[in-house]
Structure 1
Amino acid sequence: MTSPSAPATVVLVHGAFADASSYAAVVPLLLAEGLGVVVPAVPNRSLTGDSASMASVVRAIPGPVILVGHSYGGAVITVAGAEENVRALVYLAGYALEKGESLGELQGRFPASPLADALVGTPFPAEGSNEPGVDVSVDPEAFPAVFAEGVDPDLARVLAVSQRPLAARAFGEAAPVAAWRTKPSWGLVATEDRTINPDVQRYGYRRAGMTTTEIASSHLVMLAHPREVADLIREVVAATDPSGAVDRH
């Protein structure tokens, strides 16, 4: 049983077309605050499978967890966040799905972002099926402008050729649970996002009744504005610490 007064561990869940290194600028700031941090690799194969993978990471942590999800990682924490030891959810330019809703359904309520014209599909062998799966990635030429505006150009070029694709099936899978219904949640809107329409972010956050912050940033807000992201996470840790031991200033 998790002690409610135990120190929280921050679990940072990356999104599609990225990997754990997308948090590279935030992690040192959190570690400098003395916070426990875990940054797992998301398989990016299916919403239910990815959520189960992240839930297993959360269950293995002996204490409460602050679960942070960027982009598609927001959909993942919406499901994985139902784990008992998750104390709070933080969405960074992310999808906050309702139970029974898919990424495609949520996005379909709003005009498409420039990302739609920059996506590339690549077949891959799907285990246990005679039909290949399809990996979706961002055209490397379009990646810096669509996904990583405001990030160091040299780094953006590296990210463009090292991105972790997302299996197309993930777009159509419905979330079996919406953890924000039972967990306190915070949302960060990237107002200059060209990957996820900022209104998609606002709608999901407002529907969930989240505490919401907006920042003039592109989609990779953790690399473009790491200090602001780290400050938000630290605020959530402090606001949800029942012992009052975390400095709130």
Structure 2
Amino acid sequence: MTRIAISKFGIRRAGIAIFIGAMLIAAAGGSTPALAQTAPTTVVLVHGAFADGSSWDKVIPLLQAKGLNVVAVQNPLTSLADDVAATQRAIAQQKGPVVLVGHSWAGTVITQAGNDDRVKALVYVAAFSPGDGQSTSDLNKDYPTPPGLAHPQVDAAGFLTLSYDDIAQYFAPDVPKAESNLIAVIQGPVRGANFDEKVTTAAWKSKPSWAVVTKNDQMIDPKLLADSAKAINAHVTAIASSHVPMLSHPKDVAAVILEAVEAVK
């Protein structure tokens, strides 16, 4: 009889333990969204035309030093849709909030890709920021053709590249010659028709935006950059830089990105 009583007591204790365990599992499951919300911010960096992801190599360690996750997208530069898809894949891989950063042509890319709910802020670095139904060319049409785009090299498939001389003189004149030569070697050819492809919904309408306006830019008219930043109500930082401030003024660019990160925490 005693042995049976002990067994019943043991069974009762086991049942209580199972119940408590189930409650703990349910509680843990209920807290999953909160855990997701506390995941660290990721900065997704999107390169522009005549470049690749390595164009951010001076900014990346500055952001990582602040404890941020950083991802640099490799755009194929074959169409707006293709570049948006590459950027969206990078965004989708992140568990926490995203600050989306675009340089030059990639301003158009992040304007479309930034509609993802994970994206909390946009940063335009010497970048285009078209509105609904606008293309990059639509933004350019009311401004003078910048000297850096006067004579691009065009292949039979309609892809554009820049010569060593044009990169050194117009694209990146404020970096050492060895560095501009490297840019020329690794540049990503961009399909010229990309610039006529239109954004459907501009993310800057619903997301806070920051803009780096490059006052010495010879690839995008500086007035276009300033006017566009004003049009999207961006927080503006003007830098006496060429078209590649992330290479010639990486600390200034990193500071703007960090400002955006802090603002949306």
One fold, TM greater than 0.5?
yes
Counterpart in 2 of 1:130? none
Counterpart in 1 of 2:230? 206
Counterpart in 2 of 1:164? 188
Letter in 2 for 1:99: D
Counterpart in 2 of 1:118? 151
User: 2:220 aligned with 1:187, yes or no?
Assistant: no
Structure 1: how far apart are the matches of 2:69 and 2:186?
27
User: 2:114 aligned with 1:81, yes or no?
Assistant: yes
Letter in 2 for 1:20: G
- SS of the counterpart of 2:238? strand
User: 2:240 aligned with 1:216, yes or no?
Assistant: yes
- SS of the counterpart of 1:180? helix
Structure 1 stretches of 4+ with a deviation exceeding 4 A read 1-5
Counterpart in 2 of 1:56? 89
Counterpart in 2 of 1:154? 178
Which shifted more, 2-11 or 111-120?
2-11
Choose 1 or 2 for highest CA Rg.
2
Counterpart in 2 of 1:98? 131
- SS of the counterpart of 1:218? coil
Using structure 2 for the length normalisation, give the TM-score: 0.85
**What do the CA deviations read for 1:57-86 (whole angstroms, capped 9, x no partner)?**
101211110000000111100000001100
User: 2:260 aligned with 1:239, yes or no?
Assistant: no
Letter in 1 for 2:53: A
Letter in 2 for 1:22: S
Q: 1:228 Cα shift?
A: 0.6
Would you say the 8 A contact 1:10–1:67 is kept in 2?
A: yes
Would you say the 8 A contact 1:151–1:224 is kept in 2?
A: yes
- Provide the aligned C-alpha RMSD in A: 1.3
Which shifted more, 48-57 or 219-228?
48-57
**Larger RCO, structures 1/2 (Cα 8 Å, 6+ apart):** 1
Using structure 1 for the length normalisation, give the TM-score: 0.90
- SS of the counterpart of 2:164? coil
Between Structure 1 and Structure 2, the one with more helix by share is 2
Counterpart in 2 of 1:228? 252
Unmatched 5+ residue regions in structure 1? 124-132, 242-249
**What do the CA deviations read for 1:9-65 (whole angstroms, capped 9, x no partner)?**
000000000111110111111111111100010110111221122112101211110
Q: 1:161 Cα shift?
A: 2.2
Counterpart in 1 of 2:3? none
2:49 to 16, 19, 38: 16
Would you say the 8 A contact 2:73–2:86 is kept in 1?
A: no
**What do the CA deviations read for 1:182-238 (whole angstroms, capped 9, x no partner)?**
001000100000011111111211111111110100001100000111111111111
Would you say the 8 A contact 1:118–1:139 is kept in 2?
A: no
Q: 1:4 Cα shift?
A: 4.3
